[in-house]
Amino acid sequence: MEALKRNPSWKGRRGPVALVIMDGAGYGKYKDGDAVADAKMDHLTAIKAKSPHITLKAHGKAVGLPSDEDMGNSEVGHNAMGCGRVFDQGAALVSRSLETGALFTGGAWQEAVAYVKGSGGALHFIGLFSDGNVHSHLDHLKAMIAQAKKEGVRTVRVHTLFDGRDVGETSALAYIDPFEAFLAELRGPGFDARIGSGGGRMWITMDRYGADWSMVERGWNTHVHGEGRQFASAREAVETCRREIDGIIDQDLKEFVIAENGKPIGAVRDGDSVIYFNFRGDRALEITAAFEEDSFDKFDRRSRPKVCYAGMMEYDGDARVPKRYLVSPPSIDRTMGEYLAASKIRTLAISETQKYGHVTYFFNGNRTGKFDEALEDYVEIKSDLVPFEQRPWMKCAEIADAVIQALGSGKYDFIRLNFPNGDMVGHTGVYQAVVCSMEAMDIQLGRIAKAVEAAGGIMVVTADHGNSDDMFEHDKKSGKVVYKEDGTPKAKTSHSLNPVPCIIYDPEYKGEYDNNPAHWRAGLGISALAAACIELLGFLPPADYDPSPMPLTAL
């Protein structure tokens, strides 16, 4: 990797460039339900008042997703910010692989099918049961089940992880009913396809970053051992849970198994194949480890059936996890982090557990580890293991403490940090908590801004996607808030399609770039932030990077 070329016209700054990512905090389309606008964020307002700023796109094609109807997410957002270009991402890659048939001619699919045909076992699918297109899509699952039947698989079991975050918070039945009808049409002599188990994505299976392995253990016991409360159907399980736990939303639904005559129909046995059909990696790694690792100590698996396991994609390219995968992830090269390391830029990446992987692994193009141990420090602040609505401030103060110390130390040239509040609390749907999370974060933005000014640095404030800016469901035609039977607004827990900020706070501005946002490039996505940060560090960005918003004034 060659070092970046220096900009001879750059006059320098005393301090570092700090990229501040307000996860899930965009500019709302609607007044009602915009917790970002509702929050008292005096510090952010003051920063904007004395800084040039524009909006950037953070969803759809701007971050490599199939269409502009697709919500952005933290993974593709950090990929885009970190690599300075747009790569086709998980959903698009999987859809194309299904359209061309490449998925079914690949070795992983053929091996999984051959294994169960040879053993007479079942083909199991585990994954997020929605069309949110952030972790998975039901169309992908349906295509694979239909193909399995064509190829002579006799038994299919589906283990449903209900969503309620990337889709409506209580929409599970809207997915269960048509899916059951789909399976009923496929079933016939020699082919039996049914739902075998399930539960909410934030209760079983889909933990990430090692935050709560008990979730994965519950999922393992449910899917693999067939242990849990028994029901005749997934619909019955969901309705019962909602009836017994007032106000529960889909992501928190308790685990269940489908049983006949007291015996689970979907337990995993020797000779079965298991496909984890999520294409996004962060919430796939832990259940994958439970299936694949011989020396596994996170919980007592009790027994590990001899199965052919495959993931939808390669979830960790450096660690080669999983061993089999159906679709290759985008090959992201020449990231900003790699260029900065080659250019001897001293870097700090920091967040709390919930987003630590985003400012490291995803920002570096789905790469584990550092580019240069001597130049890079990665800091993870452990997240609390409590519901986010109960601690909406999360660890933003601790993150700010570490960043302020780093700014004053003179040790770093570039600092990137992520405040998870707007996304993680936004997903709870608890409006008061989301407003609180924004105001707590704003206090820390004010502290960091003072430290940037004292150090003579530059602060770039942005977000990876929207969420907290769109907390109520709105009717798509009228734009009016959708209300529940009790007269309260129906909470929206998914990401938004809204733009995000790009604010350049540069207290010692010396004229190297045009600071009039009216002259800035319009229509850009968050991939433009890589070039912007490189320019603010005094370098010229690679020629094929998406251009930064603010034009240089002299070269």
What positions carry a catalytic annotation? Answer: 74
Q: Which two tokens stand for residue 345?
A: 């830029």
Q: What are phi and psi of 384, to 5 degrees?
A: -70, 145
How much is the CA Rg of the chain, to the nearest whole Å? Answer: 24
For residues 377 and 350, give the distance between their C-alpha atoms in angstroms, rounded to a whole number: 8
Contacts of 432 (CB under 8 A, 6+ apart): none
Residue type present at position 452: V
In the structure, how many helices (H) and strands (E) does the chain have? Answer: 17, 18
Q: From CA 279, how far away is CA 327, in angstroms rounded? A: 8
Whole-angstrom Cα distance, residue 77 to residue 325? 23
How crowded is the C-beta side of 484, counted as CA atoms within 13 Å?
11
Please answer whether residues 216 and 290 qualify as being in contact, where contact means their C-beta atoms are separated by less than 8 angstroms: yes
Q: Would you call 514 helix, strand, or coil by DSSP? A: coil
Which H helix or E strand runs over 196? strand 192-200
For residue 20, give the nearest of 409, 504, 393 by alpha carbon: 504
H or E segment at 444? Answer: helix 431-455
Long-range contacts of 10-15 (CB under 8 A, 24+ apart): 10/512, 10/535, 10/538, 10/539, 11/510, 11/511, 11/512, 12/510, 12/538, 13/456, 13/457, 13/458, 13/506, 13/508, 14/455, 14/456, 14/457, 14/508, 15/407, 15/452, 15/455, 15/456, 15/457, 15/458
User: Is the dihedral angle over the CA atoms 514, 516, 521, 525 positive or is it negative?
Assistant: positive
Place of tokens 């701007």: 62
3-state DSSP: the chain helix, strand, coil percent, rounded to 5? 35, 20, 45
CA distance 349 to 361: 10
Token pair for 451:
């430290």
Q: Supply the angle between the helices 42-49 and 431-455 in degrees, to the nearest 10.
A: 50
3-state SS, 249-303, equals CHHHCCCEEEEECCEECCCCCCCCEEEECCCCCCCCHHHHHHHHCCCCCCCCCCC
Dist. CA 466–CA 246, nearest whole Å:
29
